[in-house]
A and B are shown apart, each in its own frame.
Chain A
Amino acid sequence: MRWSATENVLWKVPLPDRGNSSPIVWGDRVFITQAIEKENRLAVVCLNRANGRVLWQSGIAHSEKAPTHDANPYGSASPVTDGERVIAWFGSAGIYCYDLNGKELWRRDLGKQNHQWGYAASPVIYGDLVLSELRPRRNGRS
C-alpha cells in the first residue's frame, strides 16, 4: 500500500484553517478541532467518515489573543469522545462539551493559559471525569 497526496486517498476535504490537533473517529463520524483565525473562532468540526462531508461545526467566537508559538495555532488540543459527547479544550477560552450532533452541553472556564508556546495537551475522559493537563504556565506552577 502506498500513500501520497493522490494515491489510495478515499476522500480529501479542505479545512477552514491550519492546525496541529489529531482527528478522532467514533462510528461513522470524524471530529477535529480548529482555530479559524480570520473568524476569531474556535470550533469542533464533525465530518462523515464515509465521504468527508462536513456534518456540523460548533464552537465559539474568541478574539482574545494569547501567546503561542508561530507553529502552534490555537486549537492544538485534539478533541476526545466517549461516543455520547465530544469534549474540546480551547485554552484560555475554556473547555467545551458537545453532543454528537454539535449541541453544546456544558462549558467551563479553566483559567488563562499563558505560555509563549501556547498549549496542546488533549483532555482525557475517565469514567464520569474529564482530566486535562493545564500546564505549562509561564511561571511553571499550577
Chain B
Amino acid sequence: MQPKERTDGFAGQSDGVIGSWSTPVVIKANGRDELIVSFPEQVRAFDPEDGQRIVGDATV
C-alpha cells in the first residue's frame, strides 16, 4: 500500500518560531490524537491529520 501523499504539511503552522531537534510524539488526550511538538520554551499540540494547531500552549 502506498502511503497517502501530503504536500500541504504543517507549513505556516508554527508562526515562525524556531524548531528543535526533538522527535514529535502522537498521544491520546482529550478523546483524540494529538501530535506533540517541542519548540524552544514551549510545547505545541497539532491535529496529526491536518496539521492544524490545537490551541492552549504549555509554556515552560
A and B physically associate: yes
Q: Hey, which bits of chain A sit against chain B, CB under 8 A?
A: 76-78, 84, 97, 105-106, 117, 119-122, 124, 126-131, 133-137, 140-142
B3 and A129 contacting across the interface, CB-CB below 8 Å: yes
The SS class assigned to the B binding surface is loop
> B3 to A130, Cβ gap below 8 A?
yes
Residue from B12, B21, B48 in contact with A120 in the complex, judged by beta carbons closer than 8 Å:
B21
- Binding site of A, secondary structure by majority: helix, strand, loop or mixed? loop
Interface size on B, residues (CB 8 A): 25
| B32 interfacial by beta-carbon distance below 8 Å | no
The listed residue (A117, A120, A126, A128) touching B35 by CB distance below 8 A is: A126
B3 touches A128 (CB 8 A): yes
Residue of A whose beta carbon sits closest to that of B23: A122
- For this complex, 10 residue pairs linking A to B, each with C-beta atoms less than 8 Å apart, are A77-B23, A121-B19, A124-B26, A129-B6, A129-B49, A131-B24, A131-B26, A136-B20, A136-B21, A140-B19
Could you count the A-B residue pairs with CB atoms below 8 Å apart for me: how many are there?
Answer: 69
Chain A residues with CB below 8 A from B37, complex form: 133
Contact of A129 with B21 at beta-carbon distance under 8 Å, contacts A135-B14, A142-B14 already known:
no
B31 at the A/B interface (Cβ < 8 Å)? no
Per-position contact with A for B14-50: 1 when CB-CB < 8 Å, else 0?
A: 1011111111111000000101010000000000110
A106 touches B2 (CB 8 A): yes
- For A121, list chain B residues within 8 Å (CB): 19-24
Contact A140 B18 (CB under 8 A): yes
List of A residues within 8 angstroms of B20 by Cβ:
121, 133, 135-136
- Closest Cβ of chain B to A99, distance in Å, is 11
Q: B residues within 8 A CB of A124?
A: 23-26, 35
